[in-house]
Structure 1
Amino acid sequence: MRIALIEPDLPHAKLIGRLIFAGGHACEHFTSSAPFLQRAADEFFDLLLTENWAGDHCAEDVIPLARAVLPGLPVVVLMTAPRESQIVAALHAGADDCLSKPVRGPEMLARVEAVLRRAGLRRPLQRRRDVIGGYTFDPVTLAVTFRNRTVSLTPKEFRFAQLLFSNLSRPVSRAHILETVWTSRRDVRSRTVDTHASRVRTKLQLRPELGYSLTPLYGFGYQLDAIPPGGPAAPE
């Protein structure tokens, strides 16, 4: 899942980012709400974690602004030594949950997972398209559009590609791939994962000369990297 974090406190933001990554999610950090809202206009996020004071606005104001851009976006508000009145105000403003700072890793991840589960039950099927790194993912048609062309994928190829792009420049383990793409670790051969990776690489033209490199990580999984124009190619 792609999680946006609005947190002016940089040390605490780094801690949360590490915890989210350990939980198998991608995290994009913003120090205030304005750059988050600008990014959300172009890219999809599955959940917003925001400080009660989001650097430029309070969370009660940020929540409706965020949902005007991303309808139905789940929101968890972070608070330092919160008073009951603050929690009540955040919940009345539309927050799905509140967390005390500094966060406790297992509790934060458990609450995030619970909010995501509830959000999945109430979200409409016609979900906003994901736009990541110039690739547009349409969950309804299972099609990916890039460089003025559209390619149809199988359901597993679509989930595999979306997982890789959601974790751009991060290693993705085979265990995480199996849980996300096949929803099970049983009866799936290693060659099956490699075959799907090869198909995704070919269909989406993930080649260094075209800006992306999909690299197998021996004994671990795969990593997708963006290659800047004129930059060195990632090792194959």
Structure 2
Amino acid sequence: MRIALIEPDLQHAKLVDRLIFAGGHVCQHFTTSATFLQRATDEFFDLLITESWAGDHCAEDVIPRARSILPGLPVMMLITAPRECQIVAALHAGADDCLSKPVRGPEMLARVEALQRRAGLRRPRNRRRDAIGGYTFEPATFAVSFREVTVTLTPKEFRLALLLFNNLARPVSRAHILETVWARRRDAKSRTIDTHASRVRSKLQLRPELGYTLSPVYGYGYQLDAIPPETLTGGN
């Protein structure tokens, strides 16, 4: 599940991000609602978690704007030491749930899963594509478009590529890859993952000179990294 987090507090954002990642989800952090709303016009998110003060606007004002872009978007609001009147106001403003800040890991993940079940997470037809780092993923056809090129992947290659891009700059364990790509089949051999990673690297041209590196993490899994443009140009 792709989760957007609006949290001006960077330390608390790191905590939430680690918990969401541990729960098997992907977190995209924003410090203001404006940056989130701009990204939401191009990318789909399954859930919005927002601080009551979203960096530039109150969450009560952000919720309707977010749902005008992503209809039906589930929203969880973070409130520091919430009083009953604050919780009631948040729910009346459109929040689906409220959570006390700082968050507690098991409770937050349980509430995220509950919202996931209630929402059903059915993407509208015009939101079935993911655009990440210059690559556009089309689940209906397993096609990926980048730099005016479109390639078709196998279903497992597609799921692996999307998993890696959703976790850009973070290592993804072999166990998580097996659960996500091979539907929890533990009998898939290690070299099978290596073969698919090699094919994804080749088909999507994940090479340093083109801005990406896909590297094995010894004893753990794989990591996809984007190379800053200034590095590619030698800083000129």
Shift of 1:54: 1.3
Shift of 1:12: 1.9
In structure 1, distance between residues paired with 2:125 and 2:155: 15
Provide Cα deviations, 1:161-188, integer angstroms capped at 9, x if missing partner: 1100000010000011111111213221
Map of 1:227 onto structure 2? 227
Map of 2:186 onto structure 1? 186
- Cα gap change, 1:208/1:228 in structure 2, threshold over 3 Å: closer, same or farther? same
In structure 2, distance between residues paired with 1:167 and 1:121: 20
Verify the 8 A CA contact 2:206 2:214 in the aligned structure 1: yes
Q: Could you tell me the TM-score, scaled by structure 2's length?
A: 0.89
1:130-145, aligned counterparts within 5 Å?
Answer: 130-145=130-145
In structure 1, distance between residues paired with 2:149 and 2:161: 16
Shift of 1:125: 5.6
Map of 2:86 onto structure 1? 86
Structure 2: gaps spanning 5 or more residues: none
1:1-236, aligned counterparts within 5 Å?
Answer: 1-124=1-124, 127-229=127-229, 231=231
Amino acid at match of 1:226: A
- Cα gap change, 1:211/1:122 in structure 2, threshold over 3 Å: closer, same or farther? closer
Provide Cα deviations, 1:180-234, integer angstroms capped at 9, x if missing partner: 11121322111111111111111111111111111111211100011234637xx
Deviates more, 1:157-166 or 1:80-89: 80-89
Amino acid at match of 1:94: G
Shift of 1:33: 0.8
- Cα gap change, 1:95/1:14 in structure 2, threshold over 3 Å: closer, same or farther? same
Deviates more, 1:169-178 or 1:104-113: 104-113
In structure 2, distance between residues paired with 1:159 and 1:118: 24
Shift of 1:4: 1.6
In structure 2, distance between residues paired with 1:17 and 1:184: 24
Verify the 8 A CA contact 1:46 1:73 in the aligned structure 2: yes
Percent identity between the two aligned chains: 80
Deviates more, 1:51-60 or 1:164-173: 51-60
Shift of 1:121: 4.8
Verify the 8 A CA contact 1:127 1:139 in the aligned structure 2: no
Deviates more, 1:61-70 or 1:130-139: 61-70
- Cα gap change, 1:203/1:227 in structure 2, threshold over 3 Å: closer, same or farther? same
Deviates more, 1:220-229 or 1:116-125: 116-125
Amino acid at match of 2:118: R
Structure 1: gaps spanning 5 or more residues: none
In structure 1, distance between residues paired with 2:231 and 2:32: 31
- Cα gap change, 1:145/1:108 in structure 2, threshold over 3 Å: closer, same or farther? same
Provide Cα deviations, 1:11-44, integer angstroms capped at 9, x if missing partner: 3222212222332333232222111112222333
Root mean square deviation, CA, Å: 2.0
- Cα gap change, 1:230/1:33 in structure 2, threshold over 3 Å: closer, same or farther? closer
